[in-house]
Structure 1
Amino acid sequence: MKERDWKKFKVIKQRAIEQFCTQALDEFGEIISNSDEHVHNRYLRLYKLVRERDKEMSLVFDDHSRSKAPMQLTAIRARGLADESLLAELSDEFREQTDPKPFGWT
């Protein structure tokens, strides 16, 4: 992996983490604020969703290394979490290598 791609990947990943967490918090807030549903049901739904998002976050973002960067960026892109302007700054080779479409991930 080219050094330039590694540096851009680190920024893309950090922004993707922020976006992922923001989306998750929005989902949590919807469950919490739904006063039409019984409080215990909301708690159970929230607990389940937090666990699901935690697993997803772990799969996509854990183990920060150059060797895992291509798979992580593919997963980030498949979830629509990549900043398109930063993706455009990656080398053509790395961008093509991390395109989720050939894997049917989009």
Structure 2
Amino acid sequence: MGDQEADITRIKECARALKRIKDTFAERANPAEGYGVEDIGSQKILDAFDEFGSNWKIHRKKLTEELEKLHTITKTAADSYETLDHELAEALRRADKEAGGKK
């Protein structure tokens, strides 16, 4: 087996970033929501935003679900690596202590 190293801090940062992106996607809908023709200046533009908002809502839901999955995977990986690292370090300390007592 080759040497393997996991940058736990970087994986945790990735998980947090994915969560922030997912939360942002979940909050955003139609950018013109709440505005009327008098605010936008054109019914055509308002209609285009409404159409975009409807399509975006469908795609946003799918993207949000995928981002949540990626967040869960990366967070679980970071937590698992960290737990394994601590357990391995503790096992090595015990082995060193036992070996030191037998000298």
TM-score interval w.r.t. the shorter chain? 0.3 to 0.5
Q: TM-score, normalised by structure 2?
A: 0.38
Of the two, which has the highest radius of gyration? Answer: 2
Q: TM-score, normalised by structure 1?
A: 0.37
